[in-house]
């Protein structure tokens, strides 16, 4: 039975994805900074889905611990879900907040996925799934730091997919739009454009089984972002998006 490692498992999306893969018969490794919070989820998964589930401490910013952490687990599938989003004006004016977003959303993800990719290349099999964002498709003032960190992560995943393809390693980029989570609970979201964590999990699992390259959780985001990306710069820079 194959094993799925979920990095950032205390998030709403992480919880939904853990349950979805467990329902598919995968053993689950739940990793987070505070794994004790995941005890109820661990029990629920083991009882409900009859698979093994382990809890592990993982901090995306403790780069020097990542190699030993991964070596002790060696999952068949690695999914990065962790991320940080602060108010953009706060991050613009406070480097500590900006640095936190950049290092969590990009640097920490690259650190652990480089290690996972090397392991999978060595065994000529494995899968990596990275949760990025439509916010990275084009730089905008309203998502200046967050969007740029996700743009960097999206580019990294594309390059990793190119690097790993010849070694039979599947790398998939996931781009949710708006999602109802604890991170967005104070933000008014347009209902037709917003997904639930369970919808994200369903799309991720489906894309994984079909070995997709890049998926938008709601299909129309692909076309919304295509339109935004094709607005001429002389006009785009004057807009409030």
What integer pLDDT is reported at residue 186 of this predicted model?
63
How many helices and strands in the chain, by DSSP H and E?
10, 9
- Residues 29-69 pLDDT 10s: 999 999 999 999 999 999 999 999 999 999 999 999 999 99
Average pLDDT (126-149) is 96
Is the per-residue pLDDT at 78 higher than 90?
Answer: yes
- CA 205 to CA 4: how far, in whole Å? 12
What integer pLDDT is reported at residue 191 of this predicted model?
65
72 confidence band (pLDDT: 50, 70, 90): very high
- CA 128 to CA 227: how far, in whole Å? 29
- CA 211 to CA 16: how far, in whole Å? 20
Average pLDDT (129-148) is 95
> Which of 146-150, 215-219, 236-240 shows the highest mean pLDDT?
146-150
What integer pLDDT is reported at residue 195 of this predicted model?
77
- Residues 171-228 pLDDT 10s: 999 999 777 566 655 665 656 667 788 999 999 999 999 999 999 998 888 888 999 9
What integer pLDDT is reported at residue 218 of this predicted model?
83
CATH among 3.10.350.10, 3.40.50.720, 3.60.21.10, 3.40.50.970 for 3-236:
3.40.50.720
Q: Hey, which bits of 69-164 come out as E strands?
A: 77-80, 126-131
Residue 52 φ then ψ, to 5°: -80, 145
Average pLDDT (159-171) is 98
- Residues 79-110 pLDDT 10s: 999 999 999 999 999 999 999 999 999 999 99
Distances from the Cα of 50 to the Cα of 23, 25, 31, 81, 114, angstroms: 9, 8, 19, 24, 31
pTM over 0.85: yes
Domain residue spans in the chain? Answer: 3-236
């Amino acid at each position: 039975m194959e094993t799925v490692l979920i990095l950032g498992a205390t998030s709403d999306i992480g919880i939904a994805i853990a349950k979805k893969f467990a329902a598919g018969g995968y053993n689950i490794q739940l990793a987070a900074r505070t794994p004790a919070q995941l005890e109820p989820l661990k029990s629920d998964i083991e009882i409900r889905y009859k698979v093994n589930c382990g809890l592990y401490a993982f901090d995306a910013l403790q780069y020097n611990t990542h190699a030993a952490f991964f070596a002790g687990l060696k999952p068949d599938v690695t999914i990065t879900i962790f991320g940080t989003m602060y108010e953009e004006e706060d991050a613009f004016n406070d480097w500590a907040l900006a640095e936190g977003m950049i290092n969590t959303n990009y640097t920490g993800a690259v650190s652990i996925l480089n290690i996972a990719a090397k392991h999978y290349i060595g065994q000529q099999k494995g899968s990596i799934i990275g949760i990025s964002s439509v916010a990275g498709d084009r730089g905008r003032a309203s998502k200046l730091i967050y969007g740029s960190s996700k743009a960097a992560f999206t580019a990294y995943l594309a390059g990793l997919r190119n690097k790993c393809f010849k070694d039979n390693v599947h790398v998939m980029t996931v781009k949710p739009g708006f999602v109802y989570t604890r991170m967005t609970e104070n933000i008014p979201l347009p209902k037709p454009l917003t997904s639930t964590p369970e919808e994200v999990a369903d799309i991720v699992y489906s894309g994984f089984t079909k070995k997709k390259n890049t998926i938008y959780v709601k299909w129309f985001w692909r076309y919304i972002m295509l339109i935004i990306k094709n607005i001429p710069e002389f006009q785009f820079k004057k807009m409030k998006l």
